[in-house]
Structure 1
């Protein structure tokens, strides 16, 4: 089970602009600006070794094979984080990773790092130098340093390295909700893949525990390092904001502003006008959460058009198999009887579970198979809106109430027939499949609807 991780301590040296005044604060474990290992270089012992890659200076008691594998994993992640923000890492990250704490006896560590070693967690400690205008109070970071300390347990070195990247690149990590959500998000990064792939403890917690609200996640009084359970909820919000096309274009600019602490943007100023939509999609994401879920495929179409259907009126909906709920083109009144017919065929991919998240340091890690060694599979046969024998591929519907942002229970449809609207609101339709397996579906349907009876 993931261990809680500590707050990052960021101390700074501040040079006052437009005034001959220099202020400085204390710095814990402050690496030199050159990006060398700094005090991490003092963490040497007979059982410790230093390994280097382009962006990481790793001091560890891990064996060489595991250390080299970790460096490869870290380099891949840091490259993806840099691309995500459009800002490559400026200097190497000194990273200390422990597995057997007995081998670190006598090694000088900052108090925060020593505490995390006892707890089995991690912490990133850094400093920022910059210029502050004495008239406006505005601060501009000019240089930063960061050292990451981490247990080898479940992704902690990845998580702390994201914090170190943010400190070195932007001068800070932002408020807790963004800082910890991003660190978890970054530790799961995979090239060209925005689907959910988290550890089993995280998945189980999010599926079975009382849900944290957005207000609780955004609590300005929250402290970092509180619990891995809180980190899980922060990740869930980050995954929605970063990958859902309704919100993703605002997530990175907001983060840069928060990490720079320039005061230009806040969650309220960026996302406040769409708070109800975000709340609905965050809750919906958790309602359907499983390995493989993609926020871009289940994103709600808030711009969809719906035509009020009174007796004799018609509407036409066009649907994709590889998407979640889609506009059914009709706004219905509870009790109205709708006649429908679906034209076309679509196909659903194989019913196979999606993988969980493991790192190269986990006991259950297995080397991925080369794509050339993958067993060839037959493309799934197309089906009509009646679906296959297992029920997948069947046309189903629900009613969304745009006034109170609620979604009715799903009801079955098919290739043709009639149904009675169970509630008033907007008709939404989809191809039935497991929510984490939409990405390998294909095909489209056209659904024609006619109101044949109204009360």
Structure 2
């Protein structure tokens, strides 16, 4: 949790709201449902009998637009005053001191101190490599926070917070390290110049929680604010997802597997929500109220939104520029959406593809949709080339409704390399399946043109193409293609597929 200790000019009420979707360590917990199942592996099943090539038709399902969150409806002139701009300028503040340390009380209560450059940890946990290295983890995060949030690391090198890592709250109350002003919290809390953490049974998740709460402290003290709830918690989760190997820290990583991130479970939450028909759009996530973070669900969606916007080429620059506006709550999300404006249909489309195909190790760059300006179909035959190491790709050919079309595909490519290259053709390899179709099979979808969003993208449904199929446009549309492959497994693919589209008379 985080408690705001600065007044925001826009007058929004700032409430506590940070925690974890995971159970505490005492008593020893069972992992919640979000953690009990790993991401689904590629399916294996026997090949089905040959059948007539499927007929692909165009058509778009529609859905109602999400309501405005209302919190950011401050109008386009919100930033018009130079005085207001200056008052909202990010910068360091002096945090409220939460407690003074009495060495005698620490000793009397069996609390030891572990010092780092930017954190002092007070804990009742016994010494171990995993506990004693935590200040090094925190200090390794400091330059990464500075780089991302545009803070001068030298000028602020004296920044230091207190971290209370507890197996027993009462011990720290007795020692004066647990103020009465703290509310009840499940796992972690930030306030003023300190963070409080309940111990976790997972070494990974203990580090994650420390970096998560440290992100709150860094933003609130060195920037003077942390933005609206979805951004504040999403960024803390985004930095919290990390790797720590041989003393080297990397933050803002896409977790490679459930085993690498025990007790984290955000991917599983998104998978379950999508399966249950409860997927959230980006705009709905931006309207998440602070009080929602007493539950598991918002942490997953806000992490997903921040990680997605931070990594997508169409949103990355505008999203990262928002670090200059984190003293806002109202107005923040609206301004970001205004900046993204023209590319929001594409961003919303790729977001749908991420959440419907969320996997550990999801490759952000390779799964970006490749768009091409469509050109009208001319002559009798047109061709396209599809890269096997990318997700959905536009053929760039506008199909009209005057004719039907026949598509044929050829080429040999590598669909997997586990020390030995798996050779593949457009029909795929039938010794391995993904989502019920042969691994590496060419799949496609027809998407209406022009595309302005406002509907569920047809790209969420992959139709079999293989060596060939028939197309029956019901409206002007563009054919998108890709190989059938898990979104975390595109990196070892090699080669291209040659596609020929032929006009045929309507029967």
**TM-score bracket relative to the smaller structure:** 0.7 to 0.9
Instruction: Work out whether residues 77 and 189 of structure 1, in 8 Å CA contact, stay in contact via their aligned partners in 2.
Output: no
Given the alignment of the two structures, is residue 156 of structure 1 paired with residue 203 of structure 2, yes or no?
no
Flag the 1:260–1:216 CA change in 2: closer, same or farther, 3 A. closer
What are the ranges of 5 or more consecutive residues in structure 1 without an aligned counterpart? 1-5, 18-26, 32-37, 127-145, 351-376
1:20-419 correspondence runs (5 A): 30-31=96-97, 39=99, 41-42=101-102, 44-45=106-107, 46-65=109-128, 66-87=130-151, 90=156, 91-108=159-176, 109-113=178-182, 115-116=183-184, 119-126=185-192, 146-153=193-200, 154=205, 155-190=208-243, 191=250, 194-197=253-256, 199=263, 201-209=265-273, 210-219=278-287, 221-223=289-291, 225-259=293-327, 266-302=335-371, 304-309=372-377, 312-333=379-400, 336-349=403-416, 377-389=418-430, 390=432, 391-401=438-448, 402-404=451-453, 405=455, 406-407=457-458, 409-414=461-466, 416-419=467-470
Q: Aligned equivalents of 1:122 and 1:193: distance in 2?
A: 19
Instruction: Work out whether residues 94 and 221 of structure 2, in 8 Å CA contact, stay in contact via their aligned partners in 1.
Output: no
Q: Aligned equivalents of 1:245 and 1:430: distance in 2?
A: 20
Q: Larger relative CO (CA 8 A, sep 6+): 1 or 2?
A: 2
Q: Aligned equivalents of 1:403 and 1:218: distance in 2?
A: 21
Q: Aligned equivalents of 1:277 and 1:179: distance in 2?
A: 25
> What displacement does 1:397 show?
0.8
Q: Aligned equivalents of 1:289 and 1:96: distance in 2?
A: 35
1:72-92 residue CA offsets vs partner (Å, 9 max, x unmatched): 433344443333334365212
Q: Aligned equivalents of 1:72 and 1:421: distance in 2?
A: 61
Instruction: Work out whether residues 407 and 471 of structure 2, in 8 Å CA contact, stay in contact via their aligned partners in 1.
Output: no
Count residues in correspondence.
382
Instruction: Work out whether residues 404 and 473 of structure 2, in 8 Å CA contact, stay in contact via their aligned partners in 1.
Output: no
- SS state of the match for residue 422, structure 2? coil
How big is the alpha-carbon RMSD for the aligned residues of Structure 1 and Structure 2?
A: 3.3
- SS state of the match for residue 480, structure 2? strand
Q: Normalization by structure 1: what TM-score?
A: 0.74
Q: Aligned equivalents of 1:423 and 1:50: distance in 2?
A: 70
Instruction: Work out whether residues 246 and 299 of structure 1, in 8 Å CA contact, stay in contact via their aligned partners in 2.
Output: no
1:305-351 residue CA offsets vs partner (Å, 9 max, x unmatched): 223336x443332222221101122223469543334454322235x
Instruction: Work out whether residues 335 and 420 of structure 1, in 8 Å CA contact, stay in contact via their aligned partners in 2.
Output: no
Q: Aligned equivalents of 1:121 and 1:335: distance in 2?
A: 62
Flag the 1:317–1:252 CA change in 2: closer, same or farther, 3 A. same
Q: Aligned equivalents of 1:192 and 1:340: distance in 2?
A: 44
Q: Normalization by structure 2: what TM-score?
A: 0.67
Instruction: Work out whether residues 315 and 329 of structure 1, in 8 Å CA contact, stay in contact via their aligned partners in 2.
Output: no
- SS state of the match for residue 289, structure 1? coil
Q: Aligned equivalents of 2:444 and 2:8: distance in 1?
A: 59
What are the ranges of 5 or more consecutive residues in structure 2 without an aligned counterpart? 10-82, 84-92, 244-249, 433-437
> What displacement does 1:454 show?
4.3
Flag the 1:280–1:418 CA change in 2: closer, same or farther, 3 A. closer
> What displacement does 1:247 show?
0.7
Instruction: Work out whether residues 397 and 413 of structure 1, in 8 Å CA contact, stay in contact via their aligned partners in 2.
Output: yes
